[in-house]
Amino acid sequence: MSKQIEHWGKTKSLLWITLIIWAFFAFIIHLFGTSLNGSFPGAYYMAGQGAQLAFVILTFWFASRQNKIDEEFGFSEDD
């Protein structure tokens, strides 16, 4: 049972890291839109391309990390 508790602990830490990165690109960065705008349209960039690219990378990264955690404890479907 302790193996399961440890697995869930690691899963929860990964979730928090994922949610912090998510919140940064979803909310925080857009609060500074006016400062991002200079000769390059930074606010437009972050809302129309930057945040989306970050979400794609984050989702794939999360999937592979979570999979590694499952494998580490022998909880993946292939074991």
Partner 1 sequence: MLRLGDNFITSLNKVYGIYTLGFLGFVILMAILEVAGVSNTIIGWLFVAFTVLIYALIGVLSRTMQSSQYYVAGREVPAVYNGMATAADWMSGASFIAMAGGIYLKGYPYMGFLVGWTGGYVLVASLIAPYLRKFGCYTVPDFIGTRYGGNLPRICAVIILVVASFTYVTAQINGTGTVAARALQIPFEVGVWIGLAGILFCSMLGGMRAVTWTQVAQYIVLIIAYLIPVFWMSNKLGYGLIPHLAQFDAVSRVQELEGLLGVKELLPTAEAQAEAGKLAALKVGINDASATAMANWKFFTLVLCMMAGTASLPHVLMRYFTTASVKAARQSVGWSLLFICLLYLTAPALATFTKLSLLDPTVATSIIGKSISEVSNLEWIQQWSNVGFLKLVDGNGDGILQINEFFMRGDIVVLATPEMAGLPYVISGLVAAGGLAAAMSTADGLLLAIANALSHDLYYKVIDPKADTSRRLVVARVLLLFIGAAGAFVASLKLTSILGAVAWAFCFANSGLFFPLVLGVWWKRANKAGAVAGMIGGFGVGFWYLYMVQFGGMTPWYGIDGLRFGMIGMPVSLILMIVVSLMTEEPDQETQDMVDAIRVPKGKAVLAADH
CB 73 within 8 A of CB 6: yes
Choice from 6, 13, 20, 26 touching partner 1 (CB under 8 A) = 26
Cα(38)–Cα(23) distance, integer angstroms: 24
- Do 39 and 33 touch, CB atoms closer than 8 A? no
Instruction: Report CA torsion sign: 61, 30, 26, 51.
Output: negative
Residues 38-67 that bind partner 1 (CB under 8 A): 39-41, 43-45, 47-49, 51-53, 55-56, 58-60, 62-63, 66-67
Query: Using CB under 8 A as the criterion, which residues of the chain lie in contact with partner 1 when the complex forms?
Result: 4, 7-8, 11, 14-15, 18-19, 22, 25-27, 30-31, 33-34, 36-37, 39-41, 43-45, 47-49, 51-53, 55-56, 58-60, 62-63, 66-67, 70, 73-77, 79
